Amino acid sequence: MNSVLHRLSPANLLALNRPPDQALTPAQMNANIRHLVGDIAWFGIVWGSIVAFLQVYVVRLGASSFLVSAITYGPALVAIFLQIPAGRLIQRTGYRMRWVIAAGLAYRAFFFAVALIPFFIMRGRAEATALVWVLSALGSSFSNIAFMAMMADAVSEEDRPRMVSMRFAAFGLVNTITTLLAGFLLQQLSFPLNYQILFLIGSVGSMGSWWHIRQIHVPDPLPEPAQRGPFWRSLGSVFTYPGYRRFIVAFFFLQLALGMVSPLLPLHWVRGLNASDTQVSLVLSTTTGAMVVGSLFMRRTIERIGRERALAIGGAGYMLYPLLTSFTTSMWWLIPWAVLAGLFTAAINVNLFDNLVSVTPAAGRMNHMAIYSTFQNVALFLGPILSSVLAEGAGGPVLGLRVAAGVGLLAGVLLALRRPVIA
């Protein structure tokens, strides 16, 4: 009984008593790979049930374009002001895994909150859902920074590309299956109960992801002295390392385009193409299914053309998806475009992290990861706002999708021109 109470105690659940990890053995690194793949596989349930349908849900609740966009830009706005201070704090303490576990649990608590909103709120459900999703960034800002730094050290440099490919293949497979089943579920039950049950399923899946994360071990770095001055002064380090700077600038425009596309697609599907939940599910699952295939072949592609070129092709190629979607008048014609989107998404996902690590200085890595995330979130904040303005204008979501494609193609060009300079 006492042992059960100890395992369920807040200190144990939040890993507050977890001792710092030592240097890893090959067996521990292999175990880390399994748990990192298990983590993302379970998170595929979250993505295929909650993330994929959340904006569609608030559109069906009658939300405005601005509120739909808030699902993306709201968490980004919170993260802009939290990421660098979070990186500083974690770097100062040195206990990365404690932060990953504790903040990760707090982040997942908001998934349950989103699912339970209809039980308690009859009016303003769309606004309440958006607010809870925005507040989820309080947990994710800390957990994501620590997780990225942790993942860079969880496996050897040689195994990192294999680990990333396996993660996205597992994520895509589970996401595809979940999205297909989600579409079936949504059609069988009445609204909004169907979405409520779907979000509860995703929330439970998030706890499977969290369990795998708790099993990961990495050597904890020694605490580093706290940096002085306002957090925005840390942004100056972007200009110190040429390779890091070029990558951040190119990635900013890519993320800006992706941030624009995210709210525009469900707006166009529901309002422009009158899509059913089954059709939305089919398009989303086709995208993730193609991503699985692309992830499985990505290692061979990287060996042939290099990770830098593969990322540039992925970024530019993905923009064919919003561009072709803007000229499409039937949901069924989106299926082939979704295949292209999945293949190019695989190129982005598999190569992004390795490109980032290759240009990030080892000294103060946590802070540089925080700076990268800050720029990412600035783009994710600006992109949806820009897309909501365009969506409410004369051109509607169609014009927004075409503008987003143009911004993304610019990012692809910048990534292609970027020379691999080690920070």
What confidence tens digit (pLDDT) does each residue in 234-246 have?
Answer: 555 555 677 777 8
- The pLDDT tens digits of the residues spanning 264-313 come to 888 888 888 888 878 888 888 888 888 888 877 777 777 788 878 888 88
Q: Per-residue b/e over 282-295, b at no fewer than 16 CB within 10 Å?
A: bbbbbbbbbbbbbb
The pLDDT of residue 27 is above 80: yes
Alpha helices in 121-159 (DSSP H): 125-135, 137-154
How far is Cα 288 from Cα 275, in angstroms, rounded to an integer? Answer: 19
The pLDDT of residue 317 is above 50: yes
The pLDDT of residue 391 is above 90: no
21 SS3 class: strand
| Closest C-alpha among 230, 229, 255 to residue 378 | 255
- The pLDDT tens digits of the residues spanning 57-101 come to 888 888 887 788 788 788 888 887 887 777 777 777 767 788 888
Would 39 be classed as within a structural domain? yes
The pLDDT of residue 7 is above 60: no
- The pLDDT tens digits of the residues spanning 322-370 come to 999 889 888 888 888 899 888 888 888 777 877 777 777 666 666 777 7
| Half-sphere exposure for 417 (CA within 13 Å, toward CB) | 10
375 burial class (0-12, 13-18, 19+ CB within 10 angstroms)? buried
Would 391 be classed as within a structural domain? yes
pLDDT at position 6, please? 47
Would 340 be classed as within a structural domain? yes
Q: What is the tally of structural domains in the chain? A: 1
Would 227 be classed as within a structural domain? no
% of the chain beyond a pLDDT of 90: 13
Q: Per-residue b/e over 32-46, b at no fewer than 16 CB within 10 Å?
A: bbebbbbbbbbbbbb
Q: Which amino acid is at 361?
A: P
pLDDT at position 199, please? 93
Q: How many CB atoms lie within 10 A of CB 31?
A: 16
CATH of the domain at 45: 1.20.1250.20
Asked whether 42 and 215 are in contact (CB, 8 A), the reply is no
Q: Which amino acid is at 45?
A: I
Would 11 be classed as within a structural domain? no
Pick the residue with more confidence: 53 or 367? 53
Pick the residue with more confidence: 162 or 111? 111
| Closest C-alpha among 203, 204, 192, 51 to residue 121 | 192
pLDDT at position 202, please? 94
3-state per-residue secondary structure call for 301-370: HHHHHCHHHHHHHHHHHHCHHHHHHHCCCCHHHHHHHHHHHHHHHHHHHHHHHHHHHHHCCCCCHHHHHH
- Predicted confidence band at 203 (pLDDT cuts at 50, 70, 90)? very high
Backbone φ and ψ for 276, nearest 5 degrees, come out as -85, 165
8 burial class (0-12, 13-18, 19+ CB within 10 angstroms)? exposed
Would 17 be classed as within a structural domain? no
Pick the residue with more confidence: 94 or 30? 30
pLDDT at position 422, please? 46
Average pLDDT over residues 172-180: 86
Would 230 be classed as within a structural domain? no
Would 245 be classed as within a structural domain? yes
- The pLDDT tens digits of the residues spanning 250-264 come to 889 998 998 888 888
Both tokens of 420, joined, read: 């691999």
pLDDT at position 10, please? 57
How far is Cα 325 from Cα 45, in angstroms, rounded to an integer? Answer: 26
Mean pLDDT lowest among 23-37, 117-131, 182-196, 235-249: 235-249
The pLDDT of residue 249 is above 80: yes
Q: Residue 390's domain spans which residues?
A: 28-219+235-417
219 SS3 class: strand
The pLDDT of residue 149 is above 90: no
